[in-house]
Chain A
Amino acid sequence: MPHDHSDHSHGPDHPHTLLPPEPALRVRALETLLERKGLVDPAALDAIIDTYENRIGPRGGAQVVARAWTEPEFRAALLEDATAAVADMGLYGRQGEHIVAVENTGTVHNMVVCTLCSCYPWPLLGIPPGWYKSDAYRARAVREPRKVLAEFGVTLPRETAVRVWDSTAEVRYLVVPRRPEGAEGLDKEALAALVTRDSMIGCGLAVNP
């Protein structure tokens, strides 16, 4: 079939498939190459994508928080060794090898960043949101955490200290937000629905029932 080499210059008589963006072509090339060399298994790639698109996300972390709010023994175990405590709930795997839970109180508010890249507790929260990966957040969370929090709509009393934790490839953090007032009668499922992803990064609060 005759064709030229510009991307979109075919006439209306030749409605060819649109060329994907350049990085998508590079990824396809890399994937094909590695597949032909036997270095990647396409089924394994599909399984990885399915896991993070459909199976793993902040609901896992929210269940952990709801349990910590309602079960004092679990809360103690979580703060002592979060990796083991959440593994018992079936929440383990990639980037969950060493998780530390940090609890918000009336005097301390915890906030998590990864200044290096975007380390994040995948088994509990899934893939990080765009803003967590942005230069602005990564640079400013450490420098001016209160200002960043205010932009997220979180204003803390002056006496509350803000502690910023820098994640690494070795240690990832889960913030246990404070249990909102008025949530006393709720069961764990209803409580988990109050726990937002942002509240477990420390950039939000649990929502009021």
Chain B
Amino acid sequence: MTRPEPAFDAPWHAQVFAVTVHLNETGHFTWSDWAARFGEVLRRHGLDRSLDGGDDYFLAWLETLEGLLAERDLATEAERRELRDAWAEAFRSTPHGAPVRLPEEGPGTGQRRA
């Protein structure tokens, strides 16, 4: 018998998968709608190169989810960018080995602790 392979190659693959499944189950979109959109993004990404089903697959997955949530006004690009930068900042300013945390502010406050 072969050794079981890990379900996800990278933690972020698992995270984006879980967020999507959760939002589907809490009624934000149907799985058919998801599959149609995802299939379209995969098709577009695969036009100029052959996707290998690893990182590139979940990049297409992430882009699909970001697009869907922006369209429904659940997570706009500006909000996402602000938090992405806040997380990058938190990683840069956290000493190695310490847990990386965000300052406790909501999106759109524009404040960040250094």
Contacts and interface: CB of A to CB of B under 8 A. Distances in A.
B87 A28 contact: yes
A127 B91 contact: no
Nearest to B106: A36
B95 A169 contact: no
A207 to B, nearest CB: 8
B55 interface: yes
Contact of A16 (B8, B23, B66, B92): B92
Nearest to A20: B91
Interface string A131-147: 11111110000000000
Interface in B35-65: 35-36, 38-39, 42, 46, 50-55, 57-59, 62, 65
Contacts of B106: 36
Nearest to A207: B1
Contacts of B66: 26, 30
A201 to B, nearest CB: 13
A117 B35 contact: yes
A49 B69 CA distance: 21
Given A29-B87, A45-B15, A169-B34, A34 B75 contact: yes
A39 B39 contact: no
B61 to A, nearest CB: 9
Interface string A99-134: 000000000000000001111000000110111111
Given A15-B95, A37-B75, A39-B23, 20 more contacts: A3-B93, A19-B88, A21-B10, A24-B11, A26-B84, A29-B80, A29-B84, A30-B75, A30-B80, A32-B102, A33-B75, A36-B107, A45-B19, A46-B18, A53-B6, A53-B8, A126-B7, A130-B57, A133-B51, A137-B53
29 contacts: A3-B92, A16-B95, A17-B96, A17-B98, A23-B55, A23-B59, A26-B84, A27-B16, A28-B87, A29-B84, A31-B15, A32-B83, A32-B87, A32-B102, A34-B23, A37-B75, A45-B22, A48-B22, A49-B15, A53-B14, A94-B25, A116-B36, A117-B39, A130-B52, A132-B53, A134-B51, A137-B53, A169-B34, A196-B1
